[in-house]
A and B are shown apart, each in its own frame.
Chain A
């Protein structure tokens, strides 16, 4: 009897509290919806160093981290950052693999840290929150911060939500993307020169395969793989043929889907031949990133598409496996039927948003904090630590100390402090002459590089059913390359897609969003 009463009471209490809690959550959402967009006022920028007299600003941050470990409490570099910016930092570090879930629950909870990194800025829930005024509109405010304004235009444009900027972009270099890294020592050995066109690339791959410069059996020309819903590491081939990065290109001011273009068919034909001639791994559809890279390290492939910053690490790995003479070079651009092509990044990886309930004074301090991070000094501290402790300057280049090399969380501040550096996609620790050469390659790429026109644009239909189409299309592409299907099958497939209303709607929606953005400028 007593047990029954207790049990029922407990359950009733639990139910009641659940109802109460959900009600609370709802209320909070409403209040944040109710607040209007802020009226930005343009007062002069408060420089971080001038504030040393004032008490330290407490800043809570939610950020991603890519290091082996997040910094421990009392980390010396973290303390130095606090000292220089006169802040007290409370940072929640989240691993990349679970970042989106964590951000989603944090956004939903309504209790956001002062600076919250959102990497998936296309997320519908996030965008509607922004439109409803959950975050500070920084479109005007940010203009007072010179270092943040050094970010390239594309970085800002791609982060706009209905023409407004609701966060500080986490800037990334735009040039130096995944394009072929070629074993130049192999080229020399065979008396070949750096390929500039797709046909030359094919010829080089064939020469690598036929001559096997390292004498390994089953040598292929180019190592790479495809993902389930895109061309993965082989994507640059498609892009070079289509003359655009990704699935869409601009033709006469309108968006076009490259799937329908003849150049896509040419790309597939090229890959199909390469597969038949055994110039790409026969198991490319199954390879993982590391496995594809291992073919390079074991001397079984001479080309791997990746960013130029991978070169030093890969050379080291090659050396370890006994190929000290190996050298790699990044191909700055490739010429396809649509002219020279280099891929241009979208210029950002997420942005830091500031919740609307942060007072304006503090917003300025937060911006000043990030502005410091985008300065040369802030960037040096984040990337190389303190002079004399974590690094020493030698011939104008940073040399990391043993202490820095053994620190599992070294460079953690780079996740928050980002400076725009055109050459940031180059590897570190390069000798001066090589560095100069690579910088020239980046400049070369910058002249012709094309970015994906749909960066920062949203199509509702693409969000709901786009990935199904991507998988279907990629499945067909893989089969065509492997020879399971003929090119005629691809033509039929394209015809079917052209008749598919839902699929066409994706293009229409992207185009509408593209036109809206182009006209707003």
Chain B
């Protein structure tokens, strides 16, 4: 009786300590986000003085006003949103079709195709060959140059194929006997069954497209087609340090910390908001292909 009680007190203490430690760790993880958030609303002077830690003395929307003072930022957000929505749709379409095909044993030449896809996961084209291909396809300075070259990823194809492998072939045969054609089977039977994996890969793709940066630097020439990340980098990185000793930073107008942080908020929050909605599928989807019957 007594030992039981002491054990439960011990347990209670243990759980309490656990909770406290985990809450502290969680707060440490959250703090940078919170700091970015408050700095974006504080006045630049206050940040400079180093007085700001938890709560700014004055809340101001100046930094956001500055960002939205020209429509460049909105336009870039539009480009990034277009990439995230249209790109993700196209990518999921191609990836799911390709990996479904590969997962069916009756497809001949499966192994050589798989090998080729595997090769793409191991080797990347260099910057210049990639640029030449895009240029010769006439896609320089087209928004599609940010989607088509990265339409699908060999790695995701292999993962998704693993998921499709777990769907029994008899299901498909039954649908075919009932009069469905191949496309119908894929669209009506296979895709609805693989929603979790679609959600997971959709999220991966969406984040990837939202973060489009380097390809845009190379392929896009006019500022009105720039995605958000280019603007963001321009604001955040002080080119005087980025370029080493040689620079003419004197020409540059360095934005204040508040403006930088506001830019970070504007460019991360939209994609952060996608996570909660896909969380349910995401947890399932991440396990995709891990267990095979």
Find out whether the CB atom of B218 lies under 8 angstroms from the CB atom of A67: no
**Bound Cα distance A411, B116 (Å):** 51
Find out whether the CB atom of B133 lies under 8 angstroms from the CB atom of A321: no
Find out whether the CB atom of A109 lies under 8 angstroms from the CB atom of B49: no
Tell me how far the C-beta of A404 lies from the nearest C-beta in chain B, rounded to whole angstroms.
13
Contacts of B214 in A (CB 8 A): 98, 101
Q: Which residue of A92, A95, A119, A298 is within 8 Å of B49 (Cβ)?
A: A298
Tell me how far the C-beta of A408 lies from the nearest C-beta in chain B, rounded to whole angstroms.
6
Q: Residue B54 at the A interface, CB < 8 A?
A: no
Find out whether the CB atom of B246 lies under 8 angstroms from the CB atom of A102: no
Q: Residue A273 at the B interface, CB < 8 A?
A: no
Find out whether the CB atom of A92 lies under 8 angstroms from the CB atom of B250: no
Q: Which residue of B72, B127, B251 is within 8 Å of A104 (Cβ)?
A: B127
Q: Which residue of A66, A92, A309 is within 8 Å of B221 (Cβ)?
A: A92
Interface size on B, residues (CB 8 A): 52
19 A-B pairs besides A69-B70, A97-B237 with CB distance below 8 A are A4-B107, A21-B133, A66-B253, A67-B252, A68-B255, A72-B224, A95-B230, A96-B239, A96-B252, A98-B214, A98-B217, A98-B233, A102-B218, A109-B128, A109-B135, A119-B246, A290-B238, A290-B257, A317-B48
Q: Residue B241 at the A interface, CB < 8 A?
A: yes
With A4-B107, A172-B248 as given contacts, are A96 and B243 in contact (CB-CB < 8 Å)? Answer: yes
Contacts of A172 in B (CB 8 A): 248
> Within residues 227 to 257 of chain B, which ones have a CB less than 8 A from any CB in chain A?
230, 233-234, 237-255, 257
Tell me how far the C-beta of B279 lies from the nearest C-beta in chain A, rounded to whole angstroms.
34
Contacts of A72 in B (CB 8 A): 223-224
**Shortest Cβ distance from B257 into A: residue:** A290
Contacts of B230 in A (CB 8 A): 95, 98
Instruction: Identify the B interface with A (CB < 8 A).
Output: 45, 48-50, 69-70, 72, 101, 107-109, 113, 116, 127-129, 131-133, 135-136, 182, 214, 217-218, 221-224, 230, 233-234, 237-255, 257
**Shortest Cβ distance from B117 into A: residue:** A11
**Bound Cα distance A411, B253 (Å):** 11
Most chain A beta-carbon neighbours within 10 Å: one of B129, B136, B233? B136
Tell me how far the C-beta of B78 lies from the nearest C-beta in chain A, rounded to whole angstroms.
15
Tell me how far the C-beta of B86 lies from the nearest C-beta in chain A, rounded to whole angstroms.
22
Contacts of B49 in A (CB 8 A): 298, 321
Contacts of B222 in A (CB 8 A): 92
Q: How many A-B residue pairs have CB under 8 A?
A: 128
Find out whether the CB atom of B217 lies under 8 angstroms from the CB atom of A414: no
Contacts of B243 in A (CB 8 A): 96, 119
Tell me how far the C-beta of A429 lies from the nearest C-beta in chain B, rounded to whole angstroms.
14
Tell me how far the C-beta of B145 lies from the nearest C-beta in chain A, rounded to whole angstroms.
12
Subset of 30 A-B contacts with CB under 8 Å? A3-B107, A4-B108, A4-B109, A7-B101, A11-B116, A22-B132, A25-B129, A66-B239, A66-B249, A66-B253, A68-B253, A73-B224, A93-B223, A94-B217, A96-B242, A97-B237, A101-B217, A102-B218, A104-B128, A105-B218, A108-B128, A119-B246, A230-B244, A288-B241, A307-B250, A309-B250, A346-B246, A408-B72, A411-B251, A425-B250
Contacts of A1 in B (CB 8 A): 108
Contacts of A417 in B (CB 8 A): none
Tell me how far the C-beta of B118 lies from the nearest C-beta in chain A, rounded to whole angstroms.
13
Find out whether the CB atom of B127 lies under 8 angstroms from the CB atom of A105: yes
**Bound Cα distance A101, B116 (Å):** 29
**Bound Cα distance A274, B218 (Å):** 46
Q: Residue A289 at the B interface, CB < 8 A?
A: yes
Q: Residue A111 at the B interface, CB < 8 A?
A: yes
